[in-house]
Structure 1
């Protein structure tokens, strides 16, 4: 068998090559892929000359033995890249045609996932059928360009009269769909929704469109039912989730959502507030169907099977009790993983259990490292896009770390009886150290990857997980599953109510812990090299602790502290300079202004739903990516949800000294903005920090106090000026209209007539009622930027406004196309960083 270290090296190299293959800026050409495949075949031939070439010629050719490992790594690289790019080409070939956007097409297909409840209706995966009635759609099917999976939303008012419960996996429908490509906001350091869709093979988004103009033949029509093993399994899961809702009606819905996540892997009902609670206490990884849950269930079933199997001589004669217990445990683990949604951690666990069982039945010596490597190969061969998922790195990375850190490299079979006895005594004497080492290892395993992906980690995580991991995995989850079994099997409701109460007490304990230690969330940003160094140091730290090498333990702990304390290597901002970040926020506004020692946020983006806003999803992660933990001020231009929707979340996540706004303090409090200093923005206000001048150009006192006036004209208009550089001025305009623009042009108190602005944020996202010709002529911007949402219903920016800026000589940008846009005032260069270009990967083609 291949040496273990070679297997580890080859597996790690495959993961690196696969990750790199997905990060290229464009797909390789067909000729390049054929060349890589040819090189891979040549490498395989050279690795096994006795099989593919003349044995008598190569048997004494020694150079092959010296280069076997490099040749093998080259072969793995070529095969991996070729396979990944070929699969990606097929996936990218499926696109929503541009001509379909804005149209309603009749598409026949099958519901392929459990419909989940959203604030607006239901959402599910829709898999189009090979045969379509619409000729245009059928042509796309024949050409292979129709997306094989479409994430479809069905609004509440348009659902079938029988209700949302009528939607089931396997149903075949003819639906009038409004299709669009999977487009999402793009900002560095923020969750990439587009990459998530691509990794999960979602190549189209759709909405079921039913209105007064819909023809009778185009109405949603159920055509039949396809019953398969997968659909039956998922419908069983959907029925179980529905039963939990029915039997726990009247109970706390927030607790019920966590109960469904722990038992059946349904996290759709867990709120952002609950996720924040789990993040602060470091137990986020437990609120899912993790490998620990599945392994625990498999071990429990195996133990019960073996105990009962031994009582029957006939059964033992037919199959040994150990074999029966192992096989039944694997079957239960597979079934439960499928019922729980077949997420990546569940896949990893089942594959590892299957490989371990297979190797043990073959009588082949196995180890945790070897089993993990084989599981990795299996998962990545089936799905090469798994490396694009954060759960892949959290799941496999944490398990690999634990195996490497806790694996005893000294095999019992290599020791004599006396050494075995001494080793047993030593293990028994230091059992508590091993337990502490395992708990410490789990905490340290999660810390680097958590900081890298989420820029935050719980300071309470290691201590809380010391109790939470065995409690949740060994007590809470088994009780919840038992309650579900009794409730569904015997029709009893009281076990579910008791389980609900038990879980409620646990959540109350976590809330109490957060109240006692409110600042338990540590925000920090790590680079990839820091994650690697921390992984090595933390493994050495755990090994030193288990072997009682206290000097080494101290050195490793000091090394971890040094890596975590390493300052950011970002380019410093000099006095008289401003680093401007125009965020891709959707239909809304949010701009971060950074001077040498101060940070200001202009507007806080839109509110996406009752439990989601731009602050949580975009601004706070971006601030942490930039290393911003304190805002000197936040300008909320006016009382409009697309400009203030994320203000409350931002104020809770980072310290904000003051708010400058045209909104009343009472309304600020209603929005959940927890800031004591609220100041009214009025024309004439100005301040200078770090050599940069900030000025308020609008509104005036009369405009703010006019109760009959709409909110848009009251927008705070902020101007930023520096003394020198390629770009010297920036104008942020909120949602002012043409009338307020005219006031700015003619106002004697700091108007903009003949006051050139190098960069201008288009008023009201470029609407047709703003960006008047006199305003554009007066400000004469070199750049004009529109912050708008993809396919927004207001059609911002207006084509005439866009043309008006271009006619004035301005370079026009839209965050829909550029992603986050970053540039510098006062710097020598006037170049801007467009994130969709600088962070480009082939999925954006």
Structure 2
């Protein structure tokens, strides 16, 4: 049974790595193969069954996207709010189950993520509304180390995005008991400094935690303590079993454990992590009351199978695998390594989960083990029980609940301050490059040599290490996918030059944390030799000051208050490369035409970075003495097009002077300006240049090979969920 359950899970989970989404009729030959193999190879048949179900489920959920003109114009939608996340005063995120689209009923009911921009309060959870919105496909920036929002959205069952500024009609719904309970808890804790932490632990609302708080939780490796999941549900159920056993009746103990776990999961809003933990707990309690013995492995496999059958896209959610493998690590530690004491359990789980933590988060915490050894018992025996008692007495005895919340505040705040001090003092979080992760995998998997049947797995980390030790090109160029903006990274080994930094938004999201820093960490680049800011536009300079505070920077060129301003004729030697500033001739302001234009060359291959210069600056550049005396000074095999491919730039004379073989347009996916402009694309095509768009291809990566630039990828890399537009339209070659 275990082997068949495992095979079904593998079949469903294979959706993670499908390079494309096959057409729905693929299920017919797969079903024939399943029928042929059912008798002699049942595990193979179960694997095929899982693949068939993932395929059919995906087409079933995505069929509504074929609605004509769905993404070309505004749509009249009607739906019910599943959840609301308040982010700012006038901005919230709503997950909505769509009931009707332009008056037509939808089945199955798709889920969409809608951003609310209005001074009015958004609809509440459970309320029905109608509105008009422009829908968009799930799409994410595509860079190594960047967060894959398209995968995350599908993992939450969300197949489209949009925005709202109001509703056409709105059916107000009476507040549920849980909503009233949450409101009471917020009211009672409003004056307490620890309110954000108490809300995170009691009702699963973590919006009050600051960026510094999240950095501390990650640095100390204790984020899991403030995300209601298996640990918390297990603690609550354990308390119920402990009290119930005093009656001597196992049924009473099981019922009390299940009731407390259900109550806690209800208070937390039945989030996906609590659903997983609750299902596993109820299965275990059912087997316990039934008087049978099932191994923890079987219960885990059955839980995984049930969850993945109900929602195959759950396999795309990294949190799902983190919690599943945490339980698996606990089972291994308990049964194989003889872990019974808490320090052995924690040590075994920390060690076994290290490869996954390195893979998902790109680093490790040096103090996770000792901190968890202290905090887990503290949460188990003190904080969680007190919170449950406070919530239980919130309605019948609010004064008593308020007193408990005050006690928790007095206990919490000194602990939180101490944790912040510890994180700031030790800086325990260590970011790992791809090479360091490969070495780490190799070391962590060395114990597999003791298991004869698993020794072949050692091939994987060895291959990673050998690939990293391979010969590296002497310089590389990466034009990053930063949406509608610009950022280019030029590297020589572990030395880097960054040209522009992308945008920074009022919501707090920025391209430094989202794209640039994760890539630098993966490459093992700890400082920048040069950071060049072409001009002061936000989509070019938005993260200038933040990066200056975060990274050591040796040379600052361009639009810096305290840097070296770009001026035509300026030259420098950077390793094996020469850097030449071709424009501006004089510093007259901060307009597009003042952008710093840099020519980078090794004597054979060259790159031209142009910022946002327009036709006027192009003409002046062509008329300058530098160009008239040495026309070849402007030529480059690789060009980042001026102003993202705007029709106001890339004049015919400029294109002929540069004569590029490759051109990259740094234009966001489906941007509202229509970049790159059709006439610009035509002019480059007539010149014979090959053109790429970051919004479609993702990060564009070249390596220098002899006398040619080698393009690392020719299409958008990754699995099918990175190219939903290709699946939907079939005509676009890249995205």
Same fold (TM over 0.5): yes
Deviation per residue, 1:173-192 (Å, 9 max, x gap): 11122222222212233221
Q: Is the 8 A contact 1:96 1:180 kept in 2?
A: no
Q: Is the 8 A contact 1:96 1:204 kept in 2?
A: no
| Offset of residue 84 of structure 1 | 1.1
**Residues 1:841 and 1:107: Cα distance change in structure 2 (over 3 Å):** closer
2:149 is matched with 193
1:782 has 2:730 as partner: no
**Residues 1:333 and 1:366: Cα distance change in structure 2 (over 3 Å):** same
Quick one: which of 30, 34, 43 aligns to 1:36? 30
Quick one: which of 455, 460, 468 aligns to 2:367? 460
1:373 partner SS: helix
1:668 is matched with none
1:742 is matched with 619
1:93 partner SS: helix
Give unmatched runs, 5+ long, in structure 1: 48-70, 211-218, 311-319, 411-426, 544-555, 666-677
Cα distance in 2 between the residues matched to 1:120 and 1:662 = 33
**Residues 1:587 and 1:490: Cα distance change in structure 2 (over 3 Å):** farther
Q: Is the 8 A contact 1:583 1:820 kept in 2?
A: yes
**Residues 1:27 and 1:792: Cα distance change in structure 2 (over 3 Å):** closer
Cα distance in 2 between the residues matched to 1:40 and 1:259 = 51
| Offset of residue 586 of structure 1 | 0.9
**Residues 1:115 and 1:398: Cα distance change in structure 2 (over 3 Å):** closer
**Residues 1:249 and 1:798: Cα distance change in structure 2 (over 3 Å):** farther
Quick one: which of 423, 430, 438 aligns to 1:521? 430
| Offset of residue 435 of structure 1 | 3.7
Rg comparison, structure with higher value: 1
**Residues 1:189 and 1:835: Cα distance change in structure 2 (over 3 Å):** farther
Cα distance in 2 between the residues matched to 1:744 and 1:344 = 58
Cα distance in 1 between the residues matched to 2:368 and 2:4 = 33
2:732 is matched with none
| Offset of residue 589 of structure 1 | 1.2
Aligned 1:312-327 pairs, distance under 5 A? 321-327=249-255
Quick one: which of 212, 222, 235 aligns to 2:170? 222
Cα distance in 2 between the residues matched to 1:224 and 1:171 = 6
| Offset of residue 629 of structure 1 | 3.2
Cα distance in 2 between the residues matched to 1:510 and 1:221 = 47
Aligned 1:245-284 pairs, distance under 5 A? 245-249=186-190, 251-252=192-193, 255-284=194-223
2:516 partner SS: helix
Q: Is the 8 A contact 1:279 1:521 kept in 2?
A: no
| Offset of residue 655 of structure 1 | 4.0
1:290 has 2:218 as partner: no
Q: Is the 8 A contact 1:405 1:540 kept in 2?
A: no
1:714 has 2:610 as partner: no
Aligned 1:386-425 pairs, distance under 5 A? 386-407=314-335
1:266 partner SS: coil
Deviates more, 1:619-628 or 1:488-497: 488-497
**Residues 1:34 and 1:611: Cα distance change in structure 2 (over 3 Å):** same
Q: Is the 8 A contact 1:722 1:826 kept in 2?
A: no
Aligned 1:392-541 pairs, distance under 5 A? 392-407=320-335, 434-492=341-399, 493-518=402-427, 520-525=429-434, 537=446
Cα distance in 1 between the residues matched to 2:492 and 2:591 = 30
Cα distance in 2 between the residues matched to 1:305 and 1:597 = 60
| Offset of residue 810 of structure 1 | 2.5
Deviation per residue, 1:528-550 (Å, 9 max, x gap): 98787666557999x9xxxxxxx
**Residues 1:778 and 1:437: Cα distance change in structure 2 (over 3 Å):** same
Aligned 1:629-648 pairs, distance under 5 A? 629-648=526-545
Deviation per residue, 1:514-571 (Å, 9 max, x gap): 2321354342437998787666557999x9xxxxxxxxxxxx9xx9xx9899576265
Q: Is the 8 A contact 2:86 2:92 kept in 1?
A: yes
**Residues 1:611 and 1:564: Cα distance change in structure 2 (over 3 Å):** farther
Deviation per residue, 1:745-784 (Å, 9 max, x gap): 2222367855322221122222333323332232232222
Deviation per residue, 1:30-53 (Å, 9 max, x gap): 553222222223333x25xxxxxx
1:772 is matched with 651
Deviation per residue, 1:75-124 (Å, 9 max, x gap): 12211111111111222323175734353322222222235334642221
Quick one: which of 522, 538, 543 aligns to 1:625? 522
| Offset of residue 582 of structure 1 | 1.1
Q: Is the 8 A contact 1:823 1:830 kept in 2?
A: yes
**Residues 1:711 and 1:806: Cα distance change in structure 2 (over 3 Å):** same
| Offset of residue 453 of structure 1 | 1.0
Quick one: which of 762, 771, 775 aligns to 2:641? 762
**Residues 1:383 and 1:537: Cα distance change in structure 2 (over 3 Å):** farther
Deviation per residue, 1:470-505 (Å, 9 max, x gap): 223332333334344444543334543443343222
Q: Is the 8 A contact 2:716 2:722 kept in 1?
A: no
**Residues 1:404 and 1:238: Cα distance change in structure 2 (over 3 Å):** same
Cα distance in 2 between the residues matched to 1:104 and 1:534 = 54
Cα distance in 1 between the residues matched to 2:219 and 2:446 = 25
Deviation per residue, 1:443-493 (Å, 9 max, x gap): 213321111111111112122222122223332333334344444543334
2:625 partner SS: coil
Cα distance in 1 between the residues matched to 2:336 and 2:719 = 43
| Offset of residue 296 of structure 1 | 0.7
Aligned 1:642-721 pairs, distance under 5 A? 642-651=539-548, 654-665=551-562, 678-700=563-585, 702-703=586-587, 706=588, 709-721=589-601
| Offset of residue 585 of structure 1 | 0.8
Deviation per residue, 1:408-449 (Å, 9 max, x gap): 699xxxxxxxxxxxxxxxx9xxx8xx4432221132133211
Cα distance in 2 between the residues matched to 1:647 and 1:98 = 43
**Residues 1:27 and 1:516: Cα distance change in structure 2 (over 3 Å):** closer
1:369 is matched with 297
**Residues 1:756 and 1:565: Cα distance change in structure 2 (over 3 Å):** closer
Q: Is the 8 A contact 1:819 1:834 kept in 2?
A: no
Q: Is the 8 A contact 1:187 1:835 kept in 2?
A: no
Q: CA RMSD in A?
A: 3.3
2:134 partner SS: strand
Cα distance in 2 between the residues matched to 1:589 and 1:196 = 25
Deviation per residue, 1:12-59 (Å, 9 max, x gap): 444443333432222334553222222223333x25xxxxxxxxxxxx
**Residues 1:828 and 1:452: Cα distance change in structure 2 (over 3 Å):** farther
Q: Is the 8 A contact 1:22 1:84 kept in 2?
A: no
- Count of residues in correspondence between the two structures: 713
1:614 has 2:494 as partner: no
**Residues 1:402 and 1:788: Cα distance change in structure 2 (over 3 Å):** same
Q: Is the 8 A contact 1:186 1:835 kept in 2?
A: no
2:162 partner SS: strand
| Offset of residue 334 of structure 1 | 2.6
Quick one: which of 77, 92, 114 aligns to 2:47? 77
Cα distance in 1 between the residues matched to 2:255 and 2:363 = 41
**Residues 1:528 and 1:11: Cα distance change in structure 2 (over 3 Å):** farther
Cα distance in 2 between the residues matched to 1:455 and 1:368 = 30
Cα distance in 1 between the residues matched to 2:568 and 2:109 = 53
**Residues 1:98 and 1:31: Cα distance change in structure 2 (over 3 Å):** closer
2:702 is matched with 823
2:129 is matched with 173
Quick one: which of 83, 95, 113 aligns to 2:83? 113
2:65 partner SS: coil
1:103 partner SS: coil
1:179 partner SS: coil
1:52 is matched with none
2:58 is matched with 88
**Residues 1:777 and 1:686: Cα distance change in structure 2 (over 3 Å):** same
1:153 has 2:153 as partner: no
2:13 is matched with 19
Deviation per residue, 1:364-393 (Å, 9 max, x gap): 222222222222222222222222111122
1:348 has 2:348 as partner: no
Cα distance in 2 between the residues matched to 1:466 and 1:695 = 56
Cα distance in 2 between the residues matched to 1:463 and 1:126 = 42
Q: TM-score when scaled to structure 1?
A: 0.77
| Offset of residue 718 of structure 1 | 1.9
